[in-house]
Structure 1
Amino acid sequence: MADVIGPRLYACYNCRNHVALHDDIVSKRFMAGHRQRAFLFSHVMNLVAGPKKDRQLITGWYTIADVECSDCGEVLGWRYEKVNEESQKYKESKTVLEKFKIVKDNW
């Protein structure tokens, strides 16, 4: 009998708390601070959003909230709360996680 394979997950690099499913990646072509690669996710889990703030990013001004692991409190990325530029609206209500702060789990 074959082993049942579950979904491919990403976890917090610090405590291994599951934070996202591989299937929920919208784009792998994002950049975080200091030219770090990042992924845009349509859905995330086990994260807590901080206060909303306006921040200038590479593609313009956004209202964002940093997101942290619900277990250890490590900031893993940010959530786009409000997007003003029409061409960037696809980012609204989605979350960016920095690649170096998440690890593959169940692959």
Structure 2
Amino acid sequence: MGKLHLEYLDSNQLYVCGSCKAHLTNNRELISKDFWAGTGKAYLYNKVVNIYTGVLEERMLRTGLHSCCDIFCKNCDCKLGWKYEWALEPEQKYKEGKFILEKNLIEKAEWEN
């Protein structure tokens, strides 16, 4: 088995895994804070790093039928949210290829560069 390679982001406002603090994304990738998940509030992001995806499945969510896969931290295997692969409703297509991170499973890390 090879050595794990993690990507590190250069930003003073990062979101990191709540368990192991691996970098996930930053404020520039944030699309919306108006989402809900199993653990409470959730955020929609354009890009997330240091993750891997689970099995693709169809889910009936509040906004209709979507094809999604759970996302997990590449460093510690904790579940972090999900990725939207496909949306049935035309007004939901903007979510395709985007990521949900559950607020209770991540942390905001701020420091000065």
**TM-score of the superposition, structure 2-length normalised?**
0.85
Determine what percentage of the aligned residue pairs are the same residue: 39
Equivalent of residue 11 in structure 2, options 3, 6, 10: 6
Please name the residue that 1:101 is paired with.
Answer: 105
| Matching of residues 39-78 of structure 1 within 5 Å | 39-78=43-82
Tell me the equivalent position of 2:29. 24
Does the aligned pair in 1 maintain the 2:11–2:26 contact within 8 Å? Answer: no
Contact 2:58 2:67 in 1 (8 A): yes
Q: Tell me which stretches of 4 or more aligned residues in structure 1 moved more than 3 Å.
A: none
Give 2:20's match in structure 1, choosing from 15, 25, 29. 15
Provide the rounded CA distance (Å) in 1 between the counterparts of 2:49 and 2:57: 21
Deviation, 1:7, is 3.4
1:37 has 2:41 as partner = yes
Shift, 1:84, TM fit: 1.2
2:20 corresponds to which letter in structure 1? Answer: C
Query: How many positions carry a matched residue from both structures?
Result: 102
Question: Structure 2 unaligned runs (5+)?
Answer: 1-9
CA distance in 2, matches of 1:65, 1:6: 27
Q: Give the TM-score of the pair, scaled to structure 1.
A: 0.90
- Structure 1, unmatched stretches of 5+, are none
User: 1:83: which partner in 2?
Assistant: 87
Superposition RMSD on alpha carbons, in Å? 1.3
C-alpha displacement of 1:44: 0.4
The C-alpha deviation readout for 1:40-90, integer Å capped at 9, x for no partner, is 000000010111001111111110000000000000000001111100011
